[in-house]
Amino acid sequence: MTNDTVTTSSAAAQVDRHGNLRHLLTLDGLPRERVLALLDRADAMRRDSHAGTRPLDLLSGRTVINLFFEPSTRTRTSFDLAAQRLGAKVINFDLASSSTIKGESLLDTVHTLEAMHCDAFVVRHKETGTPEFIARHLRSQAAVINAGDGNHAHPTQGLLDAVTLRRHRPELGELRVVICGDIRHSRVARSDIHMLRALQVREIRLCAPQELQADPAEFPDCHIFHNFDDAIDGVDVAIMLRLQKERMQAAAIPSEAEYFQRYGLSIARLRHARSDCLVMHPGPVNRGVEIAGDVVDGPQSLILEQVANGVFARMAALAQLLENRVGD
């Protein structure tokens, strides 16, 4: 198990000296008004995209580089689509065929790509703090968007989850939310907690086995549970998390079957929540491990809607960071 107390200074690194958002590295500490502005922007992107009446060419002439050092299906594809729908050109850095394999350092790679001119780097990396590190060492005016770093943050996942939640439950202040699963290793959990705090939901419950629970000192405003039947009782929203085995040094759970029995979301367990409880999961889903297949595909599941809203949330983030930026 990794020692995973998450400490970075991303909140300070993402704003300029006037307090304007220069990069998007974390939702932690982002003022409520700024979060709401991003959500409103994502809603407007969805309306415009669905109406199909207005060409979205806000980022015409801009170049966005997807710099992914970890696998991704949803995040990378939706950033690609989001940038293209705003008129930007997109380069998907291919790690396997890149000179990183020949030993080129991260910063040499970034500076090389900057020399060809780009307006934004969308960065995913297994090491916490890598997007911030890149942002602090840029030689151009490019923006950095964190697409997931270690167990630290996945801010656009937090945004897309909020966009999805708000469409179904506009009265966010009344919501009781449980986040269940591998919280310790989850950047999604952290960004969702930051988002739920900013939206001032009524109660956040964190449920996990002891070995996968967050340090309570990190989230003093959240209620910690180890029994899922207790944690799910009466909630409005259940956010389920994948076991992040790639971030565990040794097997931290006895078996997947036992894990599902104690912490998996089944139809039977969902009945302990409110009858209209919404079910969310960032994906990828491990059916039968943290969530049953019939819950994934059931009427209370928002999982594919989360995926769809990912494009609009990422359009909002890209537009917010790039539309008025003066290039090099």
Per DSSP, the three-state class of 278 is strand
Tell me whether residue 148 or residue 155 sits nearer to ligand CP (CB atom).
Answer: 148
82 φ, ψ (degrees, to nearest 5): -60, -45
Contact in structure between 59 and 322 (CB atoms under 8 Å): yes
Please report whether residue 75 would count as binding ligand CP according to CB under 6 A. yes
Supply 104's token pair.
């080129």
Tell me whether residue 209 or residue 282 sits nearer to ligand CP (CB atom).
Answer: 282
Please report whether residue 8 would count as binding ligand CP according to CB under 6 A. no
Instruction: State how far the Cα of 248 lies from the Cα of 38, in Å rounded to an integer.
Output: 33
251 φ, ψ (degrees, to nearest 5): -60, 120
Please report whether residue 320 would count as binding ligand CP according to CB under 6 A. no
Please report whether residue 325 would count as binding ligand CP according to CB under 6 A. no
Q: Which stretch binds ligand CP (CB under 6 A): 57-65, 68-76, 85-93, 285-293?
A: 68-76
Instruction: State how far the Cα of 140 lies from the Cα of 146, in Å rounded to an integer.
Output: 17
Please report whether residue 157 would count as binding ligand CP according to CB under 6 A. yes
- Farthest CA pair distance, the chain: 57
Least distance CB 157 / ligand CP (angstroms): 5
48 — alpha (psi -120 to 50), left (phi > 0) or beta? alpha
Whole-angstrom CA distances from 68 to 110, 229, 318 are 12, 37, 17
Tell me whether residue 187 or residue 269 sits nearer to ligand CP (CB atom).
Answer: 187
Least distance CB 254 / ligand CP (angstroms): 26
Please report whether residue 286 would count as binding ligand CP according to CB under 6 A. no
Q: Which stretch binds ligand CP (CB under 6 A): 17-25, 53-61, 253-261, 278-286?
A: 278-286
Tell me whether residue 118 or residue 188 sits nearer to ligand CP (CB atom).
Answer: 188
Please report whether residue 284 would count as binding ligand CP according to CB under 6 A. yes
- How many chain residues bind ligand CP (CB under 6 A)? 9
**x-marked contacts with ligand CP along 229-268 as a string, rule CB under 6 A:** ----------------------------------------
- In DSSP terms, 104 is beta-bridged to none
Instruction: State how far the Cα of 186 lies from the Cα of 214, in Å rounded to an integer.
Output: 9
Tell me whether residue 15 or residue 81 sits nearer to ligand CP (CB atom).
Answer: 81
Q: Which stretch binds ligand CP (CB under 6 A): 15-23, 69-77, 90-98, 296-304?
A: 69-77
120 φ, ψ (degrees, to nearest 5): -155, 145
Instruction: State how far the Cα of 132 lies from the Cα of 137, in Å rounded to an integer.
Output: 9
Least distance CB 78 / ligand CP (angstroms): 8
| Out of 63, 122, 283, 290, the residue judged to bind ligand CP by CB under 6 A | 283
Instruction: State how far the Cα of 315 lies from the Cα of 201, in Å rounded to an integer.
Output: 25
122 φ, ψ (degrees, to nearest 5): -105, 115
Please report whether residue 72 would count as binding ligand CP according to CB under 6 A. yes
Instruction: State how far the Cα of 107 lies from the Cα of 109, in Å rounded to an integer.
Output: 5
Indicate the Cα dihedral angle 310, 68, 145, 12, nearest 10°: 130
Instruction: State how far the Cα of 27 lies from the Cα of 193, in Å rounded to an integer.
Output: 9
Least distance CB 25 / ligand CP (angstroms): 16
Tell me whether residue 22 or residue 164 sits nearer to ligand CP (CB atom).
Answer: 164
| Out of 73, 99, 112, 200, the residue judged to bind ligand CP by CB under 6 A | 73
| Out of 34, 49, 56, 74, the residue judged to bind ligand CP by CB under 6 A | 74
Supply 30's token pair.
């982002």
- Interface with ligand CP by CB under 6 A: which residues? 72-75, 148, 157, 282-284
